[in-house]
Structure 1
């Protein structure tokens, strides 16, 4: 029997490695920009076409490479970062394993242009599927420009698994934001389809956050700073009133490397305990600086997970730092234990010698037992005179209410008419008759309706969500959403990621009845909203909440686009718990609920209707 084990060719091995390193265009963007940062560049330009499927180009002004380095960088495990295994525990750069360039070159057509500042000529290399097609010297700008064309051109199955351009572009923007947040001292720009999406000059971290997410974030940030012998922490957290329903704007960086860590996230959320609304998540951009020897960053192929030597201490320090910052900037209630509150009203700026002792004046000849009645009369007269001046009502106001003889005769005639017995209004009315339906609203949350066997309790919010969900699903299927024109068009400012998301779902949004159109790079104009949303609703607020719920459902429930949109809008447009309803509104809600396909089950899989039978009531009262 012949041998069956053999070594894989380098081209196949590189394609397998590429499956770990390059899952989508955003992965290649991350690796190329990190290489530019490691090269010492302070200006980096990213250009993408067709959401990175056709072109990803990164241009930097870094140190450049020699001819040998330019050729060698495409070999597997070729790196300038480590020489021995111990170097893994002293790494502060981004890439270090030497697999990125080899993996990218194995699944695309690559053009590399590079030159060191001290060299007169640079080097140009063309590679297709790990094979060098051309290499020659040429005069090129100092630094490096690398173009990745036709990603996955030689692996059609992988290319077919890529999502739509809008989805892949959102992933690219996410990676771009993470890198630019970690390095605010570097100039970055992002160009897509000939348009500049981001222009980020070298600036402070706070300015970088505002440029990435919008001017409104300038008032939402609380600084965090903490220095200890174990770690140093700095960055910003968001004020609790601006927390969102999605985790999107939460960033941890360890030694300027973006990481995902549920343990540290729990520490931050713990610091917000009791000051955060339920099911909301605060913004944070936090940097942890730690000795590289105390962490292991080589535990995940994408290097987004880290092991710590003393994770419990890091948890405690992070929680305390965030909690202290929230308290210091009056986000959480604080008490001043250094001041005695009972004396706070006596604090004065006057010197002690200017403070005058209080004086009391009195009449030594006053006799309280003399002329008691005359004094009372004079006081009454004085009061009446003052009352007249103040109100304009004459002193003899009591004559206004004297009954004349004619009025007395009328009263006697009216007294002969028999009085009808006073009708007492019932406190709770849940009577259903054939001619009229009367309902009772319990705590402005539940509707009580009498039935033959007992009565029903209906969750008004869950019921209305079910009604609207099926209504919006029908509109999306038939593209028949009706709109009401806004009196004054509103502008909706979004960050780049949300702008790209809105662009992806724009046809469905318009099918629901929204009239919106893009205006500029990150702005939409809202001309109208669905007619059934009613009045008094902010167009921009409902769209912002719709996007938040859409992202949240997408991450957690894995819904289709249409179902996600119908669910998100139904949740935000529905009647809320605590809203008072009149009898007609309750009757209409119940009729529409029982006309739906699933009136008993809410969108979250919980009951909408609870029935209490007469037999159950009799048993509760001890009657058989």
Structure 2
């Protein structure tokens, strides 16, 4: 019987490996940027077109490669980072598997240009789908340039799985930010379709965070610094008042490598316990430096998860250091009996000597003396005259003469305006109509009687349905009404969020928002929808950006639907809110006036009915 197990051809094996390494254009950006960092580059340029589908190019001024290395780097499992298996536990670089370039070259048109500083000529290689098309010498500057074109050209099924340009661009920005934040000593530049999106000069850690996220990031940051035998922690966390609904600006770096860790995130949330609003997420940019032998980074294909030797100690140290920083900078209340800043001596009085107060006593003072009204008591530099109160011994004399009749005022000739009683403000019929027909239970449900029994309404879901249909109608008919603001609102967002708002601007205008000129870091709002409170605008937009962080639907109706759902979720009355009788009735009436009152915008039931027969059965013996 012939054997049925065969070795896969190299191009097939490369395409299979590409399924792990290259999921989307952002994966190519990540691998190429990390290779440029490993090459000890000080200036890295990222150029993309059509969200990376047409072109992803990374240019660096690093060490470059020789002719042999340039050809060998495209072979599978070829790397300069490790030699032995033990090297996996002493890694100081990013890439080490040796599959990235081979996988990328298997599914794209790739062109590489590289030159070492000591060489006169560089090497230019062109590869299409793992096939070497050409290799020749060329005059090049020092460093390496990788240009990846037509990603997934030979796997159209994978290309069809890519999202819209907006979504893919956001993933690329995420990968770029992760690498740029980890290396403030490198100058990064990012171009998209010919426009400069980021220009990050060499700077300090704080300046790099501010340059990446712009806006008012600098005033949000609280520094964190802790050094122990297990880990060295530095970085920044945000003040509680700047916490957001989404988890966008949260970064962990271990040995300058971005990671995701729900366990460490829980430690940060524990440090913020009691000073954050429900559902709010703080921003943080934390850099952990641990011995390479104390971690294992080879447990996940994308290397975004790490296994620590002592996770419990890491959790405790991280939580304590953040809590200490929040207390040290007066962000959170602390108990410190050693020093009180309010008791410190002001700077202008620190060299002055205190004067001993003098006490003056009037030894002749007698409070029972008849002459005390003519004397004064002088003590402590101030004089206060002491007067004798009037005598009340002959109090009867105060009422002498009041019993005479001619002293009384005649009131018989005074006419008073006759006030006719016209009845109560509401007549009896109106009073009967204001009989309470709705009842609120546990500030969550509204009960209203009907002919067949009663209906129980979930107030939050019902209000979501009412608001959802209102917003959707406004956006569809373009007849939304707005209320002008006396003072315009200025809201600051990151560059990525500003791009999302620019795409959603037309739909937001249809809901009732009025925007002034938008700037690079903030938007100015002059008007808001009539059913939106000014204080809720920032919360509403943050929730909207959080809901649409995975992408904006390309279809206009789907986009309007997503915006209406997000705004309805943000503005709907929450469980636990007490409603007046009038508000309860308006909510119930508004619900049953909707086109689809049975379910909320998120397909959850809004009410249930209980018939009298069902209630009778409960009491049946």
TM bracket, shorter-chain basis: 0.7 to 0.9
Q: Distance in 2 between matches of 1:162 and 1:517?
A: 35
Check whether the contact 1:174–1:497 (CA below 8 A) recurs between aligned residues: no
Q: 2:390 aligns with which of 346, 367, 377?
A: 377
Q: Does 1:405 align with 2:404?
A: no
Check whether the contact 2:126–2:135 (CA below 8 A) recurs between aligned residues: yes
How far does residue 593 in structure 1 lie from its aligned partner after superposition? 1.7
Q: Does 1:3 align with 2:3?
A: yes
Q: Does 1:501 align with 2:514?
A: no
Length-normalised TM-score, structure 2: 0.81
Check whether the contact 1:444–1:579 (CA below 8 A) recurs between aligned residues: no
Note closer, same or farther for the CA distance 1:344–1:432 as it changes in structure 2 (3 Å cut): farther
How far does residue 498 in structure 1 lie from its aligned partner after superposition? 1.5
Which blocks of at least 5 consecutive residues in structure 1 are unaligned? 380-397, 426-430
Q: Distance in 1 between matches of 2:432 and 2:368?
A: 80
How far does residue 335 in structure 1 lie from its aligned partner after superposition? 2.5
**What secondary structure does 1:569 align onto?**
helix
**What secondary structure does 1:564 align onto?**
helix
5 Å-filtered alignment, 1:447-486, equals: 451=449, 461-475=460-474, 478=476, 480-484=478-482, 486=484
Q: Distance in 2 between matches of 1:90 and 1:182?
A: 19
Root-mean-square deviation over aligned CA pairs: 4.4
**What secondary structure does 2:222 align onto?**
strand
Q: Does 1:367 align with 2:368?
A: yes
The answer for the alignment partner of 1:512 in structure 2 is 511
Q: Does 1:593 align with 2:606?
A: no
The answer for the alignment partner of 1:567 in structure 2 is 565
CA-to-aligned-CA distance 1:310-342 (integer Å, 9 cap, x gap): 11111111111111111111111122323699x
The answer for the alignment partner of 2:356 in structure 1 is 355
Note closer, same or farther for the CA distance 1:497–1:364 as it changes in structure 2 (3 Å cut): closer
Q: Distance in 2 between matches of 1:595 and 1:564?
A: 22
The answer for the alignment partner of 1:428 in structure 2 is none
CA-to-aligned-CA distance 1:373-419 (integer Å, 9 cap, x gap): x943279xxxxxxxxxxxxxxxxxx9xxx9963446658x89xx999
Moved more, 280-289 or 17-26: 280-289
The answer for the alignment partner of 2:125 in structure 1 is 125
**What secondary structure does 1:111 align onto?**
strand
The answer for the alignment partner of 1:228 in structure 2 is 228
How far does residue 272 in structure 1 lie from its aligned partner after superposition? 1.0
Note closer, same or farther for the CA distance 1:40–1:474 as it changes in structure 2 (3 Å cut): same
The answer for the alignment partner of 2:87 in structure 1 is 87
How far does residue 190 in structure 1 lie from its aligned partner after superposition? 0.6
Length-normalised TM-score, structure 1: 0.81
Moved more, 453-462 or 592-601: 453-462
Check whether the contact 1:236–1:286 (CA below 8 A) recurs between aligned residues: yes
Check whether the contact 2:438–2:449 (CA below 8 A) recurs between aligned residues: no
Note closer, same or farther for the CA distance 1:132–1:515 as it changes in structure 2 (3 Å cut): farther
CA-to-aligned-CA distance 1:182-219 (integer Å, 9 cap, x gap): 00111001100110000100111111111111231111
Q: Does 1:276 align with 2:280?
A: no
Query: How many residues are matched?
Result: 585
Q: Distance in 1 between matches of 2:570 and 2:250?
A: 24
**What secondary structure does 2:216 align onto?**
helix
CA-to-aligned-CA distance 1:272-331 (integer Å, 9 cap, x gap): 111111111111111111111111111111001111111111111111111111111111
How far does residue 268 in structure 1 lie from its aligned partner after superposition? 1.1
Note closer, same or farther for the CA distance 1:259–1:447 as it changes in structure 2 (3 Å cut): closer
5 Å-filtered alignment, 1:172-251, equals: 172-251=172-251
Q: Distance in 1 between matches of 2:493 and 2:114?
A: 37
Q: Distance in 1 between matches of 2:191 and 2:408?
A: 92
Q: Distance in 1 between matches of 2:480 and 2:550?
A: 26
Note closer, same or farther for the CA distance 1:241–1:371 as it changes in structure 2 (3 Å cut): closer
How far does residue 460 in structure 1 lie from its aligned partner after superposition? 5.1
Q: Distance in 2 between matches of 1:593 and 1:201?
A: 55
The answer for the alignment partner of 1:313 in structure 2 is 313
